[in-house]
A and B are shown apart, each in its own frame.
Chain A
Amino acid sequence: MSRRTLIEYAQYHFEEHPFRSAVTFVHADGSELPHNYFTFFHEAADYAAALEGAGITAGDLVVLVMEQSVSVMAAFWGALLIGALPSIFPFINEKLDAEHYYSSIRQLIGFESVRAVITFAKFEPDLRATLAGLPVEIITTETLKAVGDPAVYFARPAPDPEATAFLQHSSGSTGLQKGVMLSHRAVINQIQEYEEAVDVMSDWNVIASWLPLYHDMGLIAAFILPFKVGVHLVIMSPFEWVRQPVMLLQAITRHHATHVWLPNFAYNFMATRIRDAALTGVNLAELRWVINCSEPVYAESHRVFLKKFAPYGLKESALRVCYAMAENTFAVTQTARKTLPRIDVIDRRRFAEDKIAAPAENDAPYMEIVSCGVPLPNTQVRVIGVEGTVLPDRHVGEIELLSDCMLTGYYQRADLNPFHDGWFMTGDMGYLADGELYVTGRKKDLIIVAGKNVYPQDIENLLNAVPGVHPGRVVAFGVPNAQLGTEDIAVLVEAETDTLLDDDEQRGDIVREVRARIAANTEVTARYVEVLPPRQLIKTSSGKIARSANRDRFLEGLEA
């Protein structure tokens, strides 16, 4: 029987093998909270009942402001069960400025006409104060009653496959996030192809993950996919993992995990930060797919990861690459089964000057580009030049895609049209060669730090009112850090007067304020903050700060 909505897959797992492991939440101390489909969907039904009790119906938007937990997953399914549209928001942490965090939540919730927020009791007072005056119901996990019966919801007619199933928020350059609308059809089409591409169909596969669920890689690969396929998911908090990264490897060992998705920085982070002494008993021999996704892939990151963990059973053949985005539900390309990711060695000069990825010859300066693999069978990929024409192999241009798993649109943002003749414009630059896709950068100046997308404009806008900084004379950009396998953020600001620079304390106050504002208002921290004398930033002929020229000069300074 063909199932066309997520609800029908949930019903299948609940009815056919209710006592199979669905999701296990693990903590750093080794304690675990296991759920099978029976217990999981009962908890989901409790959320469904609470939402209906609060007057929420099909089509209403429900936002989840909850830390990583089985509860947030159950709340997500609870909303799905009644046809409401769930969306998981990042939750506050101790670095973020609470006022800024809550005001951006209020802005988005008001803008999108969110009908309900589900949260934990500890966040409730702040959320209630934040959302005062908006017609939003607030539901807390702690007040849920165990009254939900999954059978009641499964007995209802399945939703229209074309109906939006949920929203995945992705960052936009204007600060306000964009809600990517995904239909049941798109999500099912994506997973049908992807589960085969990564060979995760058999029920003995196990997925392990620390990825946050508000990000597409965590949401699709490490939450929706295992629930659609019916494989066991072993999940943990990103905050616990970052403090104790070995806990992921211990969970993989204990649960015989076969699949894990990681952003590139995590390879370097785990290779350099996990002590050998902590690896006693770790066995990675059953891990068949370690998939590098969501930020630029460095060949060197795979090498250091393999060198560190091969003695613990990690196989080189497990290391693969995926190129994905929320707008295609998730994967666009994936390293093919039974192959290693290709590494293309191209001529650095021809790439920079001619936008051509020519294989490097002899002693020419070269660069390594790791292949992101082949497009999924349902996804076509093309590369477009500046004139809008389709480019041949090895010519660098903007990547566009066409598939049956694309977004319907951005929620309540009819002003945004990301399509070009029906193709989705990714904003990523790259080239095709022998059927494989190589991603080389971004059309716009997006910075990707440890898998998080940051627009330089958002950082620059924070810094215009820093005392001592000339308003408008600030620039932010990314600086590759091969040792960390990700980008660092550099910020250059011009002082209002030369004399501010003569005094270490006064210059220090500017640096301090710049760093603190970035830390409080974004998910990242700046590595480099430099205060320049007045009129030192390079400007374009039209008088705007030239981001790439300032970046190039900064990079030359670093190399010198």
Chain B
Amino acid sequence: MREAIREYIKVNMIHDKKYPLKDDEDLFKGGLVDSFSLTELAVFIEDKFSIHFADPELTVANMRTLDHIIRNLEAKQAK
């Protein structure tokens, strides 16, 4: 799951396959994802892993880093 999302950001969002994207890298302050592409990322995750985000869950705080995203997805799957 983590690697699929990392690949998606690198290939589809920033078009930089070789970018060494770290697990704790801030996607927003780091300028990789902005508030418009946040929903694009969410749609990818939903389609790929059959998970549903309610709109209020799509916050920068919840999606700030790969670690945050994975933690949130795991919590959702555990429910």
Contacts and interface: CB of A to CB of B under 8 A. Distances in A.
Nearest to A96: B29
B68 to A, nearest CB: 14
19 contacts: A29-B56, A94-B28, A95-B28, A95-B34, A243-B38, A269-B36, A450-B36, A484-B36, A504-B19, A508-B18, A508-B19, A515-B14, A519-B29, A524-B34, A525-B33, A526-B31, A527-B13, A528-B14, A529-B14
Interface string B10-49: 0001111011100001001111111111111001000000
Given A508-B19, A527-B14, A242 B31 contact: no
Q: Which range contains the number of B residues in contact with the other chain?
A: 20 to 34
Contacts of B35: 95, 239, 242-243
B31 A505 contact: no
Contacts of B15: 527-528
Given A243-B58, A504-B18, A529-B14, A520 B29 contact: yes
Given A516-B30, A519-B31, A525-B34, A243 B20 contact: no
A512 interface: yes
B29 A95 contact: yes
B5 interface: no
B55 interface: yes
Interface of B: 13-16, 18-20, 25, 28-40, 43, 55-56, 58-60
A244 B36 contact: no
A520 B26 CA distance: 12
B9 to A, nearest CB: 12
A278 B18 CA distance: 37
A29 B56 CA distance: 9
A473 B13 CA distance: 25
B55 A511 contact: no
A520 B31 CA distance: 8
A518 interface: yes
B31 A273 contact: no
Contacts of A95: 28-29, 34-35
A28 interface: yes
Contact of A518 (B16, B31, B39, B60): B31
A231 to B, nearest CB: 29
A106 interface: no
B55 A244 contact: yes
With a 10 A CB-CB cut-off, give which of A511, A519, A525 has the most chain B CB atoms. A525
Q: Main SS of the interface on chain A?
A: helix
Interface in A464-505: 484, 504-505
A469 B18 CA distance: 18
A254 B34 CA distance: 30
Interface in A1-40: 28-29
Given A243-B59, A244-B55, A529-B16, A512 B30 contact: yes
Nearest to A486: B36
Contacts of B59: 243
A507 interface: yes
B16 A244 contact: no
With a 10 A CB-CB cut-off, give which of B34, B37, B38 has the most chain A CB atoms. B34
A516 B55 CA distance: 26
With a 10 A CB-CB cut-off, give which of A269, A519, A524 has the most chain B CB atoms. A519
B33 to A, nearest CB: 7
Given A242-B36, A507-B18, 18 more contacts: A94-B60, A95-B34, A95-B35, A242-B35, A243-B38, A243-B55, A269-B36, A504-B19, A508-B19, A508-B20, A511-B19, A512-B30, A514-B31, A515-B14, A519-B28, A519-B34, A525-B37, A528-B16
A242 B36 CA distance: 7
A206 B46 CA distance: 36
Contacts of B58: 243-244
Nearest to A507: B18
A246 B55 CA distance: 10
Nearest to B20: A508
Contacts of A94: 28-29, 60
The 4 closest A-B pairs by CB, nearest first: A519-B31, A515-B31, A508-B20, A244-B55
A445 B30 CA distance: 25
B49 to A, nearest CB: 16
Nearest to A488: B15
Interface string A83-122: 0000000000011000000000000000000000000000
A514 B25 CA distance: 14
A518 B33 CA distance: 12
Nearest to B57: A243
B20 A505 contact: yes
A527 B43 CA distance: 18
A223 B55 CA distance: 27
Nearest to A484: B36
A353 B41 CA distance: 40
A528 B16 CA distance: 8
Contacts of B33: 525
Contacts of A514: 31
Contact of A515 (B30, B36, B40, B56): B30
